Structure 1
Amino acid sequence: MEQSAGIFSVFLVSLLLTVRDARALRLREGTVGISIQKTYELTKYLERQLHTLTINYMDYLGPPFDNPDFDPPRLNRTEGIPSATLEVSVWRNLDDQLRLMENLRAYGLLLRCLGDVNRDLASPALRRTFQHFCTSIQGLTISISGLVTSLGYPEPPTLPPPPGARGLVPAPSDFLRKLDHFWLMRELEGWLLRTAKDFNRLKKRLGGLMARLDYRGL
Structure 2
Amino acid sequence: MEPSTGIFSVVLVSLLLNVREVCALHLRDGSIGMSIQKTYELTKYLERQLQVLSLNYMDYLGPPFDNPDFDPPRLNQTEGVPSATLEVSVWRNLDDQLRLMENLRAYSLLLRCLSDVNRELASPTLRRTFQHFCTSVQGLTISITGLVTSLGYPEPPTLPPPPGARARGGPPTEFLRKLDHFWLMRELEGWLLRSAKDFNRLKKRLGGLVSRLDYRGL
Give the TM-score normalised by the residue count of structure 1.
0.91
Which stretch of the first structure deviates more once superposed, 186-195 or 154-163? 154-163
Deviation of residue 166 (structure 1)?
6.5
Paired residues of 1:105 and 1:159 also in contact (CA < 8 A): yes
Contact 2:20/2:214, CA 8 A, preserved across alignment: no
Shift of 1:12: 4.4
* Counterpart in the other structure of 2:172: 172
| CA deviation after TM superposition for structure 1 residue 16, in Å | 3.9
Q: List structure 1 segments (4+ residues) > 3 angstroms apart after TM superposition.
A: 6-14, 162-167
Cα distance in 1 between the residues matched to 2:211 and 2:131: 42
Aligned counterparts of 1:166 and 1:111: Cα–Cα separation in 2: 15
Identify the residue that residue 188 of structure 1 maps to in structure 2: 188
Structure 1 unaligned spans of 5+: none
Q: Could you tell me which residue of structure 2 aligns to residue 18 of structure 1?
A: 16
Deviations 1:153-197 (A, max 9, x none): 111001122466376341111111001000000000000001001
Structure 1 segment 1-218 matched on structure 2, within 5 A: 11-12=9-10, 14-28=12-26, 30-162=30-162, 165=165, 168-218=168-218
**CA 1:37–1:160: 2 relative to 1, 3 Å:** same
Contact 2:53–2:129 (Cα < 8 Å) also in 1: yes
Deviates more, 1:55-64 or 1:202-211: 202-211
Long gaps (5+) in structure 2: none
SS in 2 for 1:65: coil
Q: CA RMSD in A?
A: 2.2
Residue identity (%): 78
Structure 1 distance, partners of 2:95, 2:163, is 26
CA shift at 1:215, angstroms?
Answer: 2.5
- Give the TM-score normalised by structure 2: 0.91
Q: Distance in 1 between matches of 2:120 and 2:154?
A: 37
Deviation at 1:89, TM superposition (A): 1.2
Alignment partners' CA distance in 2, 1:141 and 1:33: 18
Provide the C-alpha distance between the structure 1 equivalents of 2:124 and 2:18, rounded to a whole number of angstroms. 56
CA distance in 1, matches of 2:88, 2:9: 47
Counterpart amino acid of residue 20 in structure 2: A
- Report SS of the residue matched to 2:67: coil
Number of aligned residue pairs: 216
